[in-house]
Amino acid sequence: MFKINENYLKLPGSYLFSAIGKKVNAYSAAHPDKKIIRLGIGDVTQPLAPAIIEALHGAVDEMGKAETFRGYAPDLGYEFLRNAIAENDYRARGCDIHADEIFVSDGAKCDAGNIQEIFSLDNRIAVCDPVYPVYVDSNVMAGRTGTYDNIAETWSNVIYMPCTEENDFAPEFPKETPDLIYLCFPNNPTGAAITRQRLQEWVDYANRVGAVIIYDAAYEAYISEEKIPHSIYECEGAKACAIELRSFSKNAGFTGVRLGFTVVPKELRCGDVSLHALWARRHGTKYNGAPYLVQRAGEAVYSEAGRIQLKEQVAYYMNNARYIYDGLKEAGYTVSGGVNAPYIWLKAPCGMTSWEFFDCLLEQVNVVGTPGSGFGPSGETYFRLTAFGSYENTVEAMERIKGLEL
């Protein structure tokens, strides 16, 4: 008789954003007349930039002709895209990353969930708390996290690194030694960034204790301060200890287009085993490449026109971020983030829990945010708003929040 993977049953509740979606849909069904403004899930709202639309149309036409039709993509992705990434995201910033160390995928979420597969089941993970739920959940599914404590809302075998006001939302080195360290900067959900100097300390720490850093840089396009690194490979020694995840979702509005990539440097080894070879094997065996169309769209992100248009798009969202940040400050909220990231992190008012404030905002003013507790125990009493709405909706949402009767 077949049996299931019991680890799945340990997962408490459903995936955070599915849970929010269900709650919003239920409210919406009960109140069809209400206009709900969604600043919850980090989903973009601006249309694809003209340079990307043009590249997509061109690639569609190629697929319609026998001479230019493309079937299966190369395992690691098309060279035209990997070269553009290596040149623009790495060499232009002084990072010595080569095209053949880049694995093109259908998004950073998949890579973030799948990367743990190439590591031993008895490796111990460390995560920031609060944090994007995929890191922990994918390790729960694999059986790496021990047992769940319903009261503390923590896993017995996960090292939590609290990120709170006290440490300016930047984690300290953990007391216990981890094997895998998930770092995400600029951070989801807190919007906090890490300085180059502090990230260098993390790289040195990982190399010293023999840990791998899985560095999620999905929000790097939103960095506005010079002291903040865009890639972990700006730090010396990172190629010996770090894997970097990148996404096109937020810098180019690809949440519905699906494109990302993972960098596994060839120097990164465990004894004589290359992690690059392991990830290549996973890619070759369990994945079949991102669509040709989408890879051409990714290439257009790096074109001259694409870069100008996307800089404007990022500026548009960051203008929203400032608007939210300033508005909340004015209204007396405790607020952070929003300077190097499209997320604003605020303290729920009046001693409310995260979900209480979620319900309050949804029911009283029809604004959807994300409860901080969904990202980990240290997120309790916090709340995330995103800058990814339209400017008009952002302004209206802030009017509503300011008028909230608490």
Q: Which of residues 319-358 bind a copy of itself (CB under 8 A)?
A: none
Q: Does 150 bind a copy of itself (CB under 8 A)?
A: no
Q: How far is the CB of 184 from a copy of itself (least distance, A)?
A: 16
b/e for 18-38, b at 16 or more Cβ within 10 A?
eebbebbeebeeeeeeeebbb
Binding footprint of a copy of itself, residue count (CB under 8 A): 83
The window from 29-37, 51-59, 191-199, 376-384 that contacts a copy of itself (CB under 8 A) reads: 51-59
Select the residue interacting with a copy of itself from 256, 350, 351, 405 (CB under 8 A). Answer: 256
Site for a copy of itself in 28-47 (CB under 8 A): 41, 43-47
Nearer to a copy of itself, 63 or 352 (CB): 63
CB 124 within 8 A of CB 159: yes
Site for a copy of itself in 224-253 (CB under 8 A): 253
User: Of 316, 381, 319, nearest to 345 (Cα)?
Assistant: 381
Q: Could you tell me the two tokens for 125? A: 């993970």
Q: How far is the CB of 147 from a copy of itself (least distance, A)?
A: 18
Nearer to a copy of itself, 60 or 308 (CB): 60
Nearer to a copy of itself, 5 or 167 (CB): 5
User: Of 131, 124, 44, 7, nearest to 389 (Cα)?
Assistant: 44
Q: Exposed/middle/buried for 226, CB within 10 Å: 0-12, 13-18, 19+?
A: exposed
Site for a copy of itself in 63-102 (CB under 8 A): 63-66, 69-73, 75
Q: Could you tell me the two tokens for 238? A: 């990172």
Q: How far is the CB of 118 from a copy of itself (least distance, A)?
A: 5
3-state secondary structure of 181: strand
Q: What are phi and psi of 348, to 5 degrees?
A: -60, 135
Q: How far is the CB of 332 from a copy of itself (least distance, A)?
A: 32
Site string for a copy of itself, 364-383 (x = CB under 8 A): --------------------
Q: How far is the CB of 207 from a copy of itself (least distance, A)?
A: 11
CA angle, residues 191, 195, 197, in degrees to nearest 5 = 160
Select the residue interacting with a copy of itself from 87, 96, 100, 117 (CB under 8 A). Answer: 117
Q: How far apart are CA 338 and CA 320, in angstroms?
A: 9
Q: How far apart are CA 79 and CA 83, in angstroms?
A: 6
Q: Are strands 343-347 and 367-368 parallel, antiparallel or unpaired?
A: unpaired
Q: How far is the CB of 192 from a copy of itself (least distance, A)?
A: 24
CB 242 within 8 A of CB 264: no
The window from 160-168, 226-234, 277-285, 298-306 that contacts a copy of itself (CB under 8 A) reads: 277-285
Select the residue interacting with a copy of itself from 158, 192, 294, 367 (CB under 8 A). Answer: 294
Select the residue interacting with a copy of itself from 102, 127, 211, 328 (CB under 8 A). Answer: 211
CB 297 within 8 A of CB 78: no
Q: How far is the CB of 202 from a copy of itself (least distance, A)?
A: 15
Nearer to a copy of itself, 254 or 357 (CB): 254
Select the residue interacting with a copy of itself from 390, 395, 400, 404 (CB under 8 A). Answer: 390
What is the maximal distance between C-alpha atoms in the chain?
65
Q: How far is the CB of 336 from a copy of itself (least distance, A)?
A: 25
Which distant-in-sequence residues (6+ apart) come within 8 Å of 312 by Cβ? none
Q: How far apart are CA 71 and CA 50, in angstroms?
A: 26
Q: Residue 18: enclosing H or E segment and its boundaries?
A: helix 16-30
Q: How far is the CB of 402 from a copy of itself (least distance, A)?
A: 26
b/e for 268-300, b at 16 or more Cβ within 10 A?
beeeeebbbebbbeebeeebebbbbbbbbbbbb
Site for a copy of itself in 120-149 (CB under 8 A): 120-123, 133-134, 137-138, 141
Q: How far is the CB of 7 from a copy of itself (least distance, A)?
A: 9
Nearer to a copy of itself, 152 or 270 (CB): 270
Site for a copy of itself in 153-192 (CB under 8 A): 179-180
Nearer to a copy of itself, 48 or 223 (CB): 48
Q: How far is the CB of 183 from a copy of itself (least distance, A)?
A: 15
User: Of 357, 322, 336, 71, nearest to 193 (Cα)?
Assistant: 336
